[in-house]
Amino acid sequence: MMRQYELVERVLSYDPQANEALLNRAYVYAMKAHKHQERANGDPYFSHPLEVAAILTNLKLDDATITTALLHDVIEDTDATRTEIDQLFGKEIGALVDGLTKIKKLDLVSKKAEQAENFRKLLIAISSDIRVLLVKLADRLHNMRTIEHKREASRKRTCQETLDIYAPLAGRMGMQAIRDELEDHAFRWLHPEAYETVTKKLEQLRANNQRLVEEIRLALEVKLDDVGIEARVMGREKKPYSIWRKMQNKQISLEQLSDIYGFRVLVKNVADCYRVLGVIHTTWRQVPGRFKDYISTPKGNNYQSIHTTVLGPQSQRIELQIRTEEMHEIAEYGVAAHAAYKEMSPVSGLYGSGNGTTKELDQEHGPYAWLRQLVETLLEGANPEEFLEHTKLELFQDQVFCFTPNGRLIALPRNATPIDFAYAVHTDVGNSAQSAYINGRQVPMDTRLRNGDEVRIHTSKSATPPAAWEAIAVTGRARGAIRRAVRDTVRRQYSELGRRLIKAEVEKAGFEYSEKVLIDALPRLGAGPKGLDDVLASVARNELPATDVVKAAFPDADLKLPLQTYRPKNRHDRGRGQEGWFNLSKVMGLKFRMSGDSSEAGRGGTIPIRGLRSDIPVSFADGGAVPGDRIVGVLTKDHGIRIFQIHSPELMEFEHEKWIDVTWDVDPQNAERFPARVKVQAVNAPGSLAEIAKLIGEADGNIDQVKMVDRNRDFTDMLVEVEVWDLDHLNHILNGLKSKGVVNTAERVFD
């Protein structure tokens, strides 16, 4: 166990101005408070807060944070009180210890409703001061290092909580080293067989590839030394949990992974980063589509680095990260590497006046901004379970960076859509969004955004978000706002219907309709806190008889006549000319059925599609569509009903008013294949095409045609017409292709 003077010396080694007396006082106080307590393994309990403090000294944190680490369990586990801590160590440390005490009481893997509320409390606790989270992560890390001494049920619970909550939190704070270790411990105990299999495979690969890795590292060092760049080159290996998760997501074996090994090049300054990039790209061929510059556009947690992949010695694919030593420290330790971490406050949106004035710590793009946004969502009063669902999703998401037309940078989770973009700009923009343009071209609202896209949102004061958007949106901010907007819209519609019903009845009774009279009558209805709009909506939903409202407002009203019930005209019975609604059941000779939201006027209903049947021919546009795709039909003069996948460029040639929503109705007893088009960029090497064809065949896909569209010295682009059972089957083939060493990229295309 670390001695008192050793801890103080550690802190003074990186912070000579640290309060030595404060540290000594906290050490003695915590040791006495825990003196009769033991951990599950029999060690003195004080060894735990001491180890937590030691972890934080490795991050070079301030004396207040180290003091908090020493004291973090005293209020919960001893006779110490918050008042006593405030008196002995000051209110700042008292608040930090109190925040950690509250977190310790939370059960983050309880049943969903309780878990949601506890997660809200967790974010509230850490949002007031980032140091609460830093101490909590160190506390969890030490507990995971010694978790073998816990009972099995408790161990499993703690590991699941670590994977679900604390490891992602560490990742979002940029503390990659801590995240990796947390995940490694949790993986080991939650999935012991998988952990053992992956680690053994890694040991074998390490033994087989050690010479090659060292050769590549030395080749890089020699190249950089030849041009006078001083650099450190390090080989790196993916962690077991990261490998296992990728294997699970892509449904591939470990041998099929091509990025288990990579290299980091550390230099002195930013200029050298780009010099290194130039040397590497002029020495070896860069793999297209595998370049990202996070120096000019840092990630939301302030991560900076250049990522590139090249074909190195022996045509081996080499992944490289190029960064400065300072960037590397931030990449490993995240927000803890910032001198101003203790001055950040996401709730207020303000920073202290010390060193926290640099661009990376600004309010909008700082490493703490994501947490502030979550707290803002929390304070909007969203349903706790929705909040938990959306927040846990966002914790795991990587980012894409897009721009508004005036150059404002918007960071969004991977797979975000223009819907998410609109709500990220402002809730009012999302609620009034009507159409989207990416890089000047109009696109469907469910298009996936890519890094560097310029997105322009066209709005309309009369627009309201369709309910279907909630399933398309990725961010919790967008989903929550859409859900609220849809509820408000439905409520307004019901209120207006109720108003018309009551007004008609009032006028029948010979009175003049007056909302003031209705408002005055609310207490007689026993409406409680409900307002007039709520009462009107209740009438429209048949929850409250309209006669009761009229009688309460006009006690002398004669209500002998039956109240006429308003019935909206059935959409099936509507019939207009060619440009508007028409009866699809007559046109297609098929059973007509409704599905989903009806807010998009002019779209009609949905028709089941199964093969080519009915009097009007049904055919697929170029590029095809497969069950699982969202599809749209267009009635054309030459092709009858033409079916388009929603992302098909051809679909954009038709006005939205001519689109017909259609849905799949595939008979599982008589399955059939559907066409899809895949673009593959393959390395020019003997047997590449054979490997690709073999993989598609083994995956039960059927190749209809292969066309070479572009060829250079290193790569060949080819279009593969493939027939598959459904979208899952197609994605399985795409993931398999991407895992092949001879394949650089594989993606679905529609033109």
Tell me which residues are annotated as active site. 76-77
Residue 412's identity, in one-letter code, is: L
Instruction: State the DSSP code for 714.
Output: S
d(CA 615, CA 228): 75
Instruction: State the DSSP code for 454.
Output: B
Helix, strand or coil for residue 228?
A: coil
Q: Which residues contact 335 (CB under 8 A, 6 or more apart)?
A: 130, 134, 173, 174, 175, 301, 302, 341, 344, 367, 368
Token pair 């806190």: residue: 529
Instruction: Name residue 321's beta-bridge partners.
Output: 264, 307
Q: Are 294 and 256 in contact (CB under 8 A)?
A: no
Residue 517's identity, in one-letter code, is: V
Helix axis angle, 192-226 relative to 270-283, nearest 10°?
90
φ, ψ for residue 402 (rounded to 5)? -125, 170
Sort strands 618-620 and 640-645 into parallel, antiparallel or unpaired. Answer: parallel
Sort strands 702-711 and 743-749 into parallel, antiparallel or unpaired. Answer: unpaired
Count of all residues that appear for the chain in the document: 751
Most distant CA pair in the chain, distance: 101
Q: Are 527 and 587 in contact (CB under 8 A)?
A: no
Instruction: Name residue 401's beta-bridge partners.
Output: 411
Helix, strand or coil for residue 562?
A: coil
Q: Where are the beta strands (DSSP E) in 282-349?
A: 285-293, 306-311, 317-324, 344-345
- What's the distance, CA 318 to chain centroid? 28
Q: Are 423 and 429 in contact (CB under 8 A)?
A: yes
Taking phi over 0 as left and psi of -120 to 50 as alpha, with beta for the rest, 412 belongs to: beta
d(CA 517, CA 41): 73
What are the structure tokens assigned to 153, written together?
């049920």
CA neighbor of 8 nearest in space, from 16, 17, 20, 25: 20
Q: Which residues contact 155 (CB under 8 A, 6 or more apart)?
A: 147, 148, 189
d(CA 415, CA 214): 37
| Sheet with 455-459: strands ordered across | 441-443, 433-438, 455-459
CA atoms within 13 A on the CB side of 532: 13
Q: How far is CA 31 from CA 3, 300, 633, in A?
A: 11, 40, 73
Q: Is 270 exposed, middle or buried (0-12, 13-18, 19+ CB in 10 A)?
A: middle
Residue 541's identity, in one-letter code, is: R
